[in-house]
Amino acid sequence: MVRSFYDNTEALVLDGLESIALLRPDISLDQATKTVWLHDRKSSQTALISGGGAGHEPAHAGYVGDGMLTAAVSGFVFASPSVAQILSAITRVAGPAGVLLIIKNYTGDVFHFRLAAEKARVALGIPVEVLTVGDDVSVGRRKSGKVGRRGLAGTVLVHKILGTCSRDTDAQLSKLLELGNEVVSNLVTAGVSLEHVQIPGRDAIPAAVDDQVELGMGIHNEPGCLLLNPRPPLANIINMMLDQLLDTKDEDRAYVDFADAQHVVLMVNNLGGLSPLEFGGITGKVIQALKSRNIVPTLVLCGTYMTSLNGPGFSITLLKATLEMVGYLEAPTNAVGWGALNVSRLHGKPPTEAVAQINLDNGHAKAVESSGISFDSATFKRVIVRSCQNVIDAEPLITQYDTLVGDGDCGVTLSRGARAALSRVDEISDPTDVVSTINKLAGIMETDLDGTSGAIYSIFFTALAAELRATTSSSMSHEAWVQAANRSLEKLQQATPARQGDRTLMDALEPFIKSLVQGKSLADAVAAAKAGMEATKGMKASLGRAVYVPENVWDQVPDPGAQGVVCILEGLGAAINE
C-alpha cells in the first residue's frame, strides 16, 4: 500500500476541492458533483468549463477565477467525471452567451464532455461547444492513430488565453472556439519522468529499473515513446525533448513549424515531484538549450501547472504565439493555481550575459609572502589523489548512511569537494611553499565543500597553514606535521563544541591525531581513526540533524562524516607508504 496521509482517495479529492472554496470567497463547491465554480462574474461572458480526473492539481479546479475558468468538474483520481456531473456544471454557470468546454484529449473525457454538451444543447437549449486540446508530441502519429495527441500541460495556456479573452472582450462563443483552435494548432508538449506515480490508498507500483528515464510517459502513468537506461545527462534529455518539439523533418511528430514564429511562449511544467531547486535548474537548462537553437522565448512560464500527483518528471511546452496571445497570458488573474506561478518576459540578454560570472575570491589564494618552507610536493599530490579518490568511490555508501541518519547530502558534498581538489592539485601544489599550498587547499574546502563539512575542513586547513608558517624549519619533518596538526585540532575545537563521543567526524579525526602525538605509527593512527568511526554505531548523536533521528537507526550505520574522514586518512596512509 502506498504511504500517504490519506488512505481514502475519495476523501482526498473532496478535501482538495474544498480547500479552494475555503481560500476564495467568490468560489463555491458542490460536493455532490465535485464542481468548483466562480459565482462573482459578468453574466454577459461566455462561460468556460474544464475538468477531468483528479491528480493533476492545480488543474483544473485551481484555474477557476477571474480571467480563467468559470467552473471545473473533477472525477476521482485519474477518472473522468460523469455526464451527470458535467451537465450539472453547464446548467449552473450557463448564460445567454453560452458555454465552452475545454478538455484534454483522453477517451473518457471526450465521451463524457461531448455527451453532456449534446444533452445541454438538445434538451436545454444551451449553446455549448467543445474544444479538445491535444498537445503531446512524444507519442507520434503512428502510435496515437485515430485517437490523436494526448492533452498535457499546454491545456493550461488555453485556459488562460481564452479566459482572459472572454473577460476582457466579451468575445462570443464562436470567436473563443476559433481562437482556441488556433492556440491548439500551434501548441506542442513533450514530457519525461523518472518513475511511475504512486496513487494514495492503492497498492504500490513496482519501482522502475535503477537509473531509467521514460520519454513521453503520460500523466496517468501511460507508457511513453522511449525508455532510456542508463539515464543520459540532463542536457541530452532536454535536447531529445526539443528535437521532438521542433524537428520539422520528423514526419511522425512535426506538428508546428517555429521557423517563422513572431513570438514563442515557453512553459516548463513540474509534474509534481521535483524540488524547487532541481526544477529551477532544469528550467535554466531548457532556456539555454533553446538559445543554442536560436530561439529566445518572448514569455517564460515555469511552475507546477499540471501534475501527475507527485510525478518525478517535467514537461516542456512551446506555443507559437501571436502578440494577442502573449498579452492574454500576461494579464492578471486571481485563480489560485496560476497566482503562485512564475510568468516573466526574458529581458533580451543572451543567457550567457544574463548570468553574472562571478569569480569568488575567498582570500586564501591571494598573493602573500612566501613561507619559504619546502616539502615533498610529489608525495603531497599522491596524498590528494588517493584520499580524494577514496572519498569519491565511497560517495554511494556515505550517502546511504546519511540518508538514514541525516539529510542525505554528506556523500555528495564530500565528493564535490574531493573532485574540486583533484582538479586543481597541480595548480595549488608549490614545492617551495607548503603554507601557500595548504592555504589554497583550505580555499577549495571553503568554496567547493558546502555546509558544515566545508566550514570544518576549511577551519582545520587554515589553522594548519598558520601553524606551518610559524615553524622555524625550512623544510617539513614528520614531527613538524604532527605538531602542526595537533595545534590545528585545538583551533578547530575552539570553533565547534563537537568532541569525540558526539557522533561526528571528530570521532575519527581526534583519535588519529592523538595517536600520532603519542608517537604511534601512521598505520596505527589510521587504525585508531577507523576504530573511532566504527564506535559511532549505536552512539547517540549530540549535534546536527542526526539528533532528530530515531535511536534504533543509530545502531545500523556509523557517522557519515567520520566515514569520510577515514576515507581521507586511508588515502593518506596508502600514499605515504607507496
Helices (H), 406-504: 410-423, 425-428, 434-448, 451-469, 478-495
Cell 472556439 appears where? 177
- Ligand-binding annotation for 55, yes or no, is yes
Task: Name every residue whose Cβ is closer than 8 Å to that of residue 236 and which is 6 or more positions away in sequence.
Answer: none
Closest CA to 389 of 417, 347, 351, 352: 417
Task: Name every residue whose Cβ is closer than 8 Å to that of residue 317 and which is 6 or more positions away in sequence.
Answer: 135, 152, 153, 154, 157, 187, 188, 189, 265, 266, 267, 268, 269
Phi-psi category of residue 315: left, alpha or beta, with phi > 0 → left and psi -120 to 50 → alpha: beta
The bridge status of strand 313-321 relative to strand 187-193 is antiparallel
- By mean pLDDT, which of 46-55, 352-361, 487-496, 568-577 is the weakest? 352-361
Q: Around Cβ 114, how many Cβ atoms within 10 Å? A: 17
The bridge status of strand 226-228 relative to strand 35-38 is unpaired
Decide which of 452 and 282 is more confident: 282
Which strands make up the sheet holding 27-30, listed edge to edge?
Answer: 27-30, 35-38, 71-77, 47-54, 99-104, 128-133
35-48 average pLDDT score: 92
Phi-psi category of residue 114: left, alpha or beta, with phi > 0 → left and psi -120 to 50 → alpha: alpha
pLDDT number for residue 363: 41
Spot the catalytic one: 220, 263, 347, 364. Answer: 220
pLDDT number for residue 341: 54
pLDDT tier for residue 361 given thresholds of 50, 70 and 90: very low
Q: Which three cell numbers stand for residue 279?
A: 526544477
Domain at 9-352, CATH from 3.40.50.10440, 3.40.50.720, 3.40.930.10, 3.30.56.10 = 3.40.50.10440
Domain at 377-576, CATH from 3.40.50.620, 2.40.30.10, 1.25.40.340, 3.40.720.10 = 1.25.40.340
Beta bridge partners of 30: 35
Give the whole-angstrom CA distance, residue 451 versus residue 448: 10
pLDDT number for residue 343: 63
- Ligand-binding annotation for 433, yes or no, is no
Q: Is 220 a catalytic residue?
A: yes
Give the whole-angstrom CA distance, residue 320 versus residue 366: 51
pLDDT number for residue 142: 82
Task: Identify the burial level of 262 via C-beta atoms within 10 angstroms of its C-beta, where 0-12 means exposed, 13-18 middle and 19 or more buried.
Answer: exposed
Beta bridge partners of 196: none
**234: enclosing H helix or E strand:** helix 234-246
pLDDT number for residue 209: 66
Give the pLDDT confidence of 112-138 residue by residue, as tens digits: 999 999 999 988 999 999 999 999 999
**118: enclosing H helix or E strand:** helix 107-124
Decide which of 201 and 456 is more confident: 456
Closest CA to 188 of 318, 49, 297, 87: 318
Closest CA to 77 of 200, 186, 180: 200
Q: Which three cell numbers stand for residue 297?
A: 522565448
Give the pLDDT confidence of 236-278 residue by residue, as tens digits: 999 999 999 999 999 888 999 999 999 999 999 999 999 999 9
The bridge status of strand 226-228 relative to strand 299-303 is unpaired
- Ligand-binding annotation for 363, yes or no, is no
pLDDT above 70: residue 366? no
Residue spans per domain, the chain:
9-352, 377-576
Beta bridge partners of 561: none
- By mean pLDDT, which of 144-158, 380-394, 546-560 is the weakest? 546-560
Query: What is the reported pTM?
Result: 0.76
Reduced to 3 states, what is the DSSP secondary structure of residue 538? coil
Domain 377-576 in the same topology as domain 9-352:
no
Q: Which three cell numbers stand for residue 498?
A: 563537537
Closest CA to 183 of 259, 108, 105, 265: 265
Task: Write the CA distances from 198 to 51, 56, 181, 208, 309, integer angstroms.
Answer: 21, 13, 34, 12, 8
pLDDT number for residue 448: 84
- Ligand-binding annotation for 54, yes or no, is yes
pLDDT above 50: residue 358? no
pLDDT above 50: residue 214? yes
Helices (H), 306-432: 323-330, 336-339, 351-354, 377-405, 410-423, 425-428
Cell 537509473 appears where? 211
* DSSP code for 172: -
pLDDT number for residue 171: 95
Give the whole-angstrom CA distance, residue 158 versus residue 189: 13
Give the pLDDT confidence of 453-503 residue by residue, as tens digits: 888 898 899 899 999 988 877 778 899 999 999 999 999 998 888 899 999
Cell 568511490 appears where? 393
The bridge status of strand 99-104 relative to strand 47-54 is parallel
Q: Please compute, for residue 545, the number of CA atoms within 13 A of its CA located in the half-sphere on the CB side.
A: 13
